[in-house]
Amino acid sequence: MVYREERAKAKNGWTSISSPAFVDLNRDRRGFHRFESSKKESQLNNGEERDGGSVGFSVHTFGFTPSTSSKDDELALQRAKAFFVGWMLGPLTFGDYPDEMKIAVGSRLPVFSEEESEQVKGSSDFIGIIHYLAASVTNIKSKPSHPDFTQTWALL
């Protein structure tokens, strides 16, 4: 309802959710992605025309750099990007999580159905980037027996 009523007023963009990855780090993100896609679905199902407004969301990220020039740290860099940005943008852009996340998280990562994938893909009018600082990343060699969110990244 808020989307339908207020969208036209958002000529320069309205951020529906800011930094969604930090709401609850242990939650299944499919709910967020379905919320984001519901705006598009509402517009299509109700025959609404574009009204000049735009609604999107903002992701929080760091300027990641590898700690060394090693291949392992370069891979850690890719995982950091996948977990911080790809976690939110992958489904909304491509309809699925980044491959790096699928490999690192395995069966613990929720799977989008084909219908969910199509529903969320391309559903945001714009993407905002919140960038506060840089972070150096390095690969962790040992694998924890019960990895938590940050250990799954295999980053320091």
Total domains in the chain come to 1
Q: Which residue type, as a one-letter code, is found at position 121? A: K
For the record, the structure tokens of 147 come out as: 């990895």
Instruction: Determine the structural domain holding residue 26 and report its residue range.
Output: 2-153
Question: Do residues 79 and 154 lie in contact, with contact meaning Cβ atoms separated by under 8 Å?
Answer: yes
Q: Is the pLDDT of residue 45 over 90?
A: no
Q: Which one, of 84, 26, 142, 63, lies nearest residue 154 by Cα?
A: 142
Q: Is the pLDDT of residue 154 over 90?
A: no
Q: Is the pLDDT of residue 114 over 60?
A: yes
Q: What pTM does this model have?
A: 0.67
Q: Which one, of 20, 18, 42, lies nearest residue 29 by Cα?
A: 20
What distances in angstroms separate CA 11 from CA 3, 51, 53, one per listed residue? 13, 9, 4
> What tens digit of pLDDT does each residue of 57-100 get?
788 888 999 999 999 999 989 988 998 888 888 998 999 999 98
Task: Say what percent of the chain tops pLDDT 70.
Answer: 57
